[in-house]
Chains A and B, each alone.
Chain A
Amino acid sequence: MNDTLNLLIGLAMGLNLLALGTSRLPVLIRAVAMQGVLLGLLPLVLEAHGLDWRLVLITLATVAGKGVLIPFMLIRAMRTANIARELEPFIGYIPSLLLGAAGTIAAVALTRYLPLLPEHAGNLHVPGAMALILTGFILLIGRTKAISQVCGYLILENGIYLAGLLLIRSTPILVEFGILLDVTVGIFVIGIIVDRIQRAFDSLDTRKLTALHE
């Protein structure tokens, strides 16, 4: 179980770096979608012995939501708002990659000193969650386009989801499901807002949204 878990989370952490290093919006969106799918499969790995139809249903819904629905809405928002596919970062690609790598390494190194339950120590679960949250932060701070900031927010949410999976035995997964619904609705709203911002300001550069207009 640990090997599959580490592989899935390790791949998700690799996708973090892809998201930080890419200069293309579609690649960023796909990286986030792929990460959502990888993390959506985790409940199956974590609860491999107590598998029932509800868990499978929830996994399917998570994978569909994170891997299909949200990316679809983001790509649609990108098309309707005619957003340039090249990103213009506020923090450059190389600095953000190095920051992300440093954050990942720090997350792995720090986890050793955290008081964890024995079943959570010794795998990538906790460091993965921390690394995803840090990457989300870096993307939120470092990008100027609204949609890439949404992607940062999604990676942040993936990290919180991963951290939430630690409690899979004590909290009902329904709570997690509610969060997923909120996120989906949030992305839906953002997709609409992005279109409006594009029409009102002719740009999605958040640096231009700091001054008030009539």
Chain B
Amino acid sequence: MPLYMDIPLRLLFWLLLAPLLPGVINKVKAWVAGRQGPPVLQLYYDLARLWRKGVVVSTLASPGFIIAPAVAWTAVVTAALLLPLAGTGTAFSFDGDVLLLVYLLALARFCTAWGAMETGSAFEGMGAAREVSFAVLAEIGIITAILTLVVQSGSIALSSMFEPLFGPGAALLAVGLFIILLAENCRVPFDDPNTHLELTMIHEVMVLDHSGPPLAMILHGASVKLLLFAVFLAQAVLPLSELPLLASVAALLVSVLLITVAVGLVESLTARLAFRRVPLLLTIGFLFCLFPLLLTWMGDL
């Protein structure tokens, strides 16, 4: 497919599909709790509504308050474009683009924290501090998972990195990546995306003072990030690129849906962890990613 068609199509996939995921999660949570729940498309309505609203800016805030969400959103979407999609491969790829992916995600997080601190509220600064300190631990896990894939496939480009593991290594990596997915996207054992007036929230603290289009960008960026991690997880453990084109795309969609449902189930069935236990769970996630690395390194043990 020519590049001028390929990139817009991928962009459409990421931008349009992403807001569906939080809707599915909320539907699963509502279903487990025996409620009706918001419609699956709720986030689309929210985004449309927020986009039409005005912006309230703190008198302390510099233009960074508006710029930061835009940069964060762009960074996340660019990172998403780097990922291959099942049988269709990547739009563009170069050696070491996986490092760019990690750095773009880090840039997005930096910008969210920066935007939070622009408000001049101590509360938001606290949220930013928490987010960044947990991110350090989650990032070790991601880098270990990527190292596993690199050792497994002998390639440092995302387009040829996803050679799935088999057996126990794949199971361990799936669990590890799932824990990291929950942590990175501020999901329940780490953070509750529904609470808005608690001293223990992390991500929500940072976006409390945002409104209008910047808030829409933050929400949409968060959903793209969730989709990004789900796609990454699915491709790291399932042999999607070996199937024929349509089958692999369908398999990718189904596995992303399954991962989303799993997130919803975890959210409904577990309570948020006590704060001091979060590093322990992240360490466990890291170890789940470390042992597949050991398995691939040691070969056919």
Determine if A105 and B279 form an interchain contact, defined as CB atoms under 8 angstroms apart.
no
Which one of B71-79, B222-230, B244-252, B282-290 contacts A?
A: B282-290
Determine if A108 and B283 form an interchain contact, defined as CB atoms under 8 angstroms apart.
no
Determine if B301 and A122 form an interchain contact, defined as CB atoms under 8 angstroms apart.
yes
**Which residues in B have their C-beta under 8 angstroms from that of A94?**
279-280, 283
Closest Cβ neighbor of A127 among chain B residues? B301
Closest chain A CB from B202 CB (angstroms) = 19
A93 at the interface (CB under 8 A from B): yes
Determine if A21 and B280 form an interchain contact, defined as CB atoms under 8 angstroms apart.
yes
A12 at the interface (CB under 8 A from B): no
B168 at the interface (CB under 8 A from A): yes
Determine if B279 and A108 form an interchain contact, defined as CB atoms under 8 angstroms apart.
no
Determine if A101 and B287 form an interchain contact, defined as CB atoms under 8 angstroms apart.
yes
Q: Mark A129-152, 1 if CB is under 8 A from B, else 0.
A: 000000000000000000000000
Determine if B294 and A98 form an interchain contact, defined as CB atoms under 8 angstroms apart.
no
Closest Cβ neighbor of B284 among chain A residues? A21
**Which residues in A have their C-beta under 8 angstroms from that of B280?**
21, 93-94, 97
The docked-state distance in angstroms from the alpha carbon of A94 to that of B279 is 8
Determine if A98 and B283 form an interchain contact, defined as CB atoms under 8 angstroms apart.
yes
The docked-state distance in angstroms from the alpha carbon of A108 to that of B291 is 11
* Given A94-B279, A97-B280: A108 in contact with B301 (beta carbons within 8 A): yes
Closest Cβ neighbor of A123 among chain B residues? B301
Partner of B168, one of A10, A93, A109: A10
A181 at the interface (CB under 8 A from B): no
Closest Cβ neighbor of B281 among chain A residues? A21
Closest chain A CB from B198 CB (angstroms) = 23
> Main SS of chain B's interface residues?
helix
The docked-state distance in angstroms from the alpha carbon of A93 to that of B290 is 17
Determine if A101 and B290 form an interchain contact, defined as CB atoms under 8 angstroms apart.
yes
**Which residues in B have their C-beta under 8 angstroms from that of A17?**
284, 287
A168 at the interface (CB under 8 A from B): no
The docked-state distance in angstroms from the alpha carbon of A23 to that of B273 is 13
A194 at the interface (CB under 8 A from B): no
**Which residues in B have their C-beta under 8 angstroms from that of A98?**
283
The docked-state distance in angstroms from the alpha carbon of A23 to that of B291 is 22
**Which residues in B have their C-beta under 8 angstroms from that of A45?**
none
B298 at the interface (CB under 8 A from A): yes
**Which residues in A have their C-beta under 8 angstroms from that of B301?**
6, 108, 122-124
A51 at the interface (CB under 8 A from B): no
The docked-state distance in angstroms from the alpha carbon of A23 to that of B284 is 13
A48 at the interface (CB under 8 A from B): no
Q: Mark A3-25, 1 if CB is under 8 A from B, else 0.
A: 00011001000000100010100
**Which residues in A have their C-beta under 8 angstroms from that of B284?**
17, 21, 97
**Which residues in B have their C-beta under 8 angstroms from that of A124?**
301
Closest chain A CB from B31 CB (angstroms) = 30
Determine if A105 and B294 form an interchain contact, defined as CB atoms under 8 angstroms apart.
yes
**Which residues in A have their C-beta under 8 angstroms from that of B290?**
101, 105
The docked-state distance in angstroms from the alpha carbon of A94 to that of B285 is 12
Hey, which bits of chain B sit against chain A, CB under 8 A? 168, 277, 279-280, 283-284, 287, 290-291, 294, 298, 300-301
- Beyond A17-B287, A21-B284, A23-B277, 10 additional pairs, beta carbon < 8 A: A10-B168, A17-B284, A94-B279, A94-B283, A97-B280, A97-B287, A105-B294, A108-B298, A109-B298, A122-B300
24 interchain pairs (CB within 8 A)?
A: A6-B301, A7-B168, A10-B168, A17-B284, A17-B287, A21-B280, A23-B277, A93-B280, A94-B280, A94-B283, A97-B283, A97-B284, A97-B287, A98-B283, A101-B290, A101-B291, A105-B290, A105-B294, A108-B294, A108-B298, A108-B301, A109-B298, A123-B301, A124-B301
Nearest 4 CB-CB pairs, A to B? A94-B283, A101-B287, A93-B280, A97-B283
